[in-house]
Structures are given as C-alpha cells and as structure tokens.
Amino acid sequence: MTRKYFGTDGVRGRANTHPMTAELALKLGAAAGRYFRTDGRNGHRVVIGKDTRRSCYMLENALTAGLNSTGMNVLRLGPVPTPGVGYLTRSLRADLGIMISASHNPASDNGIKFFGPDGFKLDDLAELEIEALLDGAVDLVEPQHIGRTTQIDDGVGRYVEYAKTTFPGRGQLGGLKVVIDCANGAAYKAAPQALWELGAEVVPVGVTPNGLNINEKCGSTHPETAAEAVVAHGADIGICLDGDADRVIIIDEQGQIADGDQFMALLAARWAEAGQLRHGTLVASVMSNLGLERFLTGRGLRLERAPVGDRYVVERMREGGFNLGGEQSGHIVMTDYATTGDGLIAALQFLAAMADTGLPVSALARQFETVPQMLKNVRYRAGQEPLMDAAVQAAIRAAEARLNGSGRLLIRKSGTEPLIRVMAECEDEVLMRELVEGIVGAVERAV
C-alpha cells in the first residue's frame, strides 16, 4: 500500500503548506493518540521534542491538542536532539515519542517523526495504520478523559547525563580543543555542555538559534564553517551536527572533512578488534562508497546494504541482530547505546578512539581510499514522475551498459525532498561524469 503522508523519515514538507500545516498536525496528533490509547485509560503518555524552527511552536501546539483530545497525556521536552526523544520515550515510560524537525532541511521546512514505546521509529505498518485513522473520523474522548500537558524542564539534562555515560573514562577529554557546530539546531545546549563536562576545551559554533537560521551556512550540511573555526582556533577536531543532531561529520586538525563512511570504517575495525562488532557486520545504505565495502572485506568483515534512510538501516540491524550501522551522510547508529542515529554519542566514540590511540583525527578519519563517486540532484514539481519518462529510462539503460559492471549506478527519488538523486561510482572519473551528466540531462528535460 502506498503511503500518503509518511516518507522515509516521518511526515515532512514546507511549513504552513500541506501537509505540514497546523490543521494536519492536529489530525495527526489525534490519529496517533487513538492508535496508541487502546484501552480507554488516562495513563498513556507521549513525549514531544522539537528543534529550533519557528514553525515548531505551531506544530507542537496542534499536535498537543490532537493528542489531548484522544486522552493522551503530553510531556513537552522543548528543544532536544532526535536521539534524545528516543531515549526519553523509554526513560519516561511513554507510549509514544514525537520529534518535530526537518533535520538537515532549511528553516522553511519541518517534519514530524514518531517513536514507539521501545524508543525506535515506527515501522511502515504502524504508519499506514495511523494514516488510515487520519483519513477517517477519530472518536474524541469524553470531557473527563481529556489528556493533560506537562513541561519537562530537565529533558536536555537527562539526555546529556546519559550521553556522558557512553564515553569510556570520564575526564579523558582534558587537553583537547573541540570545535562543535550545532547547526543552530536542537543540540545547541546539549552538545557543548556534554563535551565541556567531559573535560574538553569547547569552541561552540552554530549555538545562537533564532528560529530562522537552523542549518544556515553551518552544521553537517555546511561543514566548511566549522573547518574554518578548527584552523583559526588550532583545534584538535571539529564535530558538525545537523539540525536535529542525529548525524555527525568529523573534521580533522587541518580542516579536512571526513564523511560517515570513514567514521563507520573506524568504528567497525575497532569494534571487531575488541570483539564488540556483532556477527562481524556493518549495515550501511546503498549510498555508501564501494571503498568501504572493500575495506571491510579485506578484514574479514561484511557490509550489508539497506535502502536510504536511517530507519531502514536500523530495521536491518534489528532483523539481523547487528549493532553498528549508518549512512555516508553521517547517521551513525549504535544500538548498544541509542535507538537511532546519534551525532553526539557517535562523536564521543570518535573522541574515545583519539584518547585510546593518541592519534590525531587526520590518521583516524582516513581509513580507506574512496572510489570516485559523483552525486547530482534534480528538483521536480509535485505530481511529476520523471523516472517513469521513457527517455530517462533509456538514458539509465545506456549508462548501465557503458558501466558494464565496473562500478555502481544509483538513481532514486529522495524520501524527504522533491529531488531525483543521480549517483555513480567508477574508477574512471571521466566516464563517471559522463554517465551522471547524461542521466541528469535526461531528467531535467523530463521535468
């Protein structure tokens, strides 16, 4: 069954435009409340976190009203990282967790993500059932059963204290100068606080949110800002989070940027050596570089690929009993510590590697030689299906024939934005560029 509202990571869109309106958020809250409140009792709880977008206030109020109307008691966390919502959903024994965020998207967008009582994101079936309720008439509770709303003032502090427990040996960050770029987003308080309390000298970047500047020339989508700060301050490392802090990009002491693939390679090798990597397997998305796969194979380890989206990486991890996964974009999922990608906790694992080895970031963040990879995006309008165009399909077939097994080609629709993503990997960079440009040209003509 096709999902009408939910994408690869919840419901997402431009704020104040369908589906990201207060009206739909009200209905979505009521539908989710009815789905989780099945026994008529008033003891059901839902925690709501958000990032720093101005539209979060509007959506939070609408969601809260919808949830209360079906008897759910709402615990508001305020601005807190997405992984913090996953953690606090379990810690506070809630039936449901909700994060209001569009992650790395600009401030004009927003989104709504759902977590089950186990702290993991809802699966496709649960989202479909909520959609079915959303499109129908939701029964409202009697006045005496309307839910209550409470503000949780120590949500950030609870998450910070938990994150610190995942770092082996408190105080070992003494002597390290760390640039932390919080993208003017959800971790603008939590991340600098945790690093400072663990002993680091902290240089904060992107910690002055105003509701409109989240991800603006900062964070994991614009790591050059933190790279400049690393060089200017003579820092040992740069850590770039995105707007909801579920992904991380690392910058070395020279200002060079390392992506999530290099990070996962480091963790997989270290965990395998320590006997910590379950089943000798790392789970990554189809976007991860071929060089990562070769790196793992050379060490007798396996790479399993999942569809793009950290929720699908997590689903495969849970199915196979694996404990390490992630995406090239910087989602690092460690189910020993968190139920979703956690940029702060992942960064603490990297810092632990620095403390254990005494090596600089430049030595740790270059685990393998990447196979040349090129990615281009083409924006399309609502209602268009450019990948169904005959000329586009012909261009893809021609590119695959020219590649002839010497690399990889991946063309897909983004699950979070109206984009067609065209990616190719090939040792022959000239051929790679020709293939990507040819397919991009065909898609552009189709739209």
Q: Write the CB contacts of 92 (distance below 8 Å, at least 6 apart in sequence).
A: 45, 47, 75, 152
Token readout for 68 is: 């209360």
What residues are annotated to the active site? 103
Bridge partners of residue 97, in order along the sequence: 47, 115
Please check whether residue 98 is in contact with residue 91, taking contact to mean a CB–CB distance below 8 angstroms.
no
Bridge partners of residue 50, in order along the sequence: 79, 100
Alpha carbon distance 353, 434 (integer Å): 40
Q: Rg of the chain over CA atoms, in angstroms? A: 22
Alpha carbon distance 88, 59 (integer Å): 20
Kindly report the pTM of this predicted structure. Answer: 0.89
Identify the pLDDT of residue 171. Answer: 61
Strand order in the sheet with 96-100: 6-7, 10-14, 109-115, 96-100, 45-50, 73-79, 149-151
Q: Write the CB contacts of 224 (distance below 8 Å, at least 6 apart in sequence).
A: 257
Q: Go through the domains of the chain in sequence order and give each one's CATH number.
A: 6-153 (3.40.120.10), 158-167+174-255 (3.40.120.10), 260-364 (3.40.120.10), 373-446 (3.30.310.50)
Please check whether residue 22 is in contact with residue 61, taking contact to mean a CB–CB distance below 8 angstroms.
yes
Identify the pLDDT of residue 179. Answer: 98
Omega prior to 209 cis, within 30 of 0 = no
The rounded Cα 228 to chain-centroid distance in angstroms is 24
Identify the pLDDT of residue 38. Answer: 73
* Nearest CA-CA partner of 13 in 89, 100, 88: 100
Which residue blocks in 70-149 are alpha helix, DSSP H? Answer: 82-91, 124-134
Alpha carbon distance 319, 251 (integer Å): 33
Cα torsion for 317, 323, 328, 332, to the nearest 10°? Answer: 120
Identify the pLDDT of residue 408. Answer: 87
Identify the pLDDT of residue 79. Answer: 97
β-strands 45-50, 96-100: how paired?
Answer: parallel
pLDDT in tens, the chain (447 residues): 567 888 878 899 999 999 999 999 999 999 999 999 877 777 899 999 999 999 999 999 999 999 999 999 999 999 999 999 999 999 999 999 999 999 999 999 999 999 999 999 998 899 999 999 988 877 899 999 999 999 999 999 999 999 999 998 656 899 999 999 999 999 999 999 999 999 999 999 999 999 999 999 999 999 999 999 999 999 999 999 999 999 999 999 999 999 999 999 999 999 999 999 999 999 999 989 999 999 999 999 999 999 988 889 999 999 999 999 999 999 999 999 999 999 999 999 999 999 999 999 999 999 999 999 899 999 998 888 999 999 999 999 999 999 988 888 999 888 777 899 999 999 899 999 999 999 999 999 999
